[in-house]
Amino acid sequence: MNIDIFGYFAAILTTAAFLPQLLKTLKTKKAEDVSLITLIMFIVGVISWIIYGYQISSAPILIANLITLILNFLILISKIYFSKTSSQ
């Protein structure tokens, strides 16, 4: 068995995992229970992974983290947007 199979499987899962969160937030129109600090720390961390991936020329790190960044950025924007609309 290819030793990298768990690496690819892991990268796909820890990236795609944020899609259900985004869909749930868009559907319920709230993300009050989702920690804002977690989202911000995670996004800054993912941006650092992208810089690191670029520095060491690792396409898998770059691609996985770019998708993770987009998904988490959309979750963050949705959370902020829905928290504003619900408090009005």
* Minimum gap (Å) between residue 40 Cβ and a copy of itself: 8
Q: CB neighbours of 54 closer than 8 A, spacing ≥ 6?
A: 62
Complex with a copy of itself: residue 2 or 88, whichever CB lies closer: 2
Per the CB < 8 A criterion, the answer to whether 25 and 82 are in contact is yes
Q: Which CB, 3 or 59, lies closer to a copy of itself? A: 3
Smallest gap from Cβ 77 to a copy of itself, in A, equals 15
Q: Which is nearer to a copy of itself, 13 or 88 (CB)?
A: 13
Over its C-alpha atoms, the chain yields an Rg (Å, rounded) of 15
CA 41 to each of CA 8, 48, 59, 69, 76: distance values in angstroms, whole numbers, following the listed order:
24, 11, 23, 12, 11
Interface with a copy of itself by CB under 8 A: which residues?
Answer: 3-4, 6-7, 9-21, 23-25, 28, 30-35, 37-39, 41-42, 44-46, 48-49, 51-52, 55-56
Q: Which amino acid is at 9?
A: F
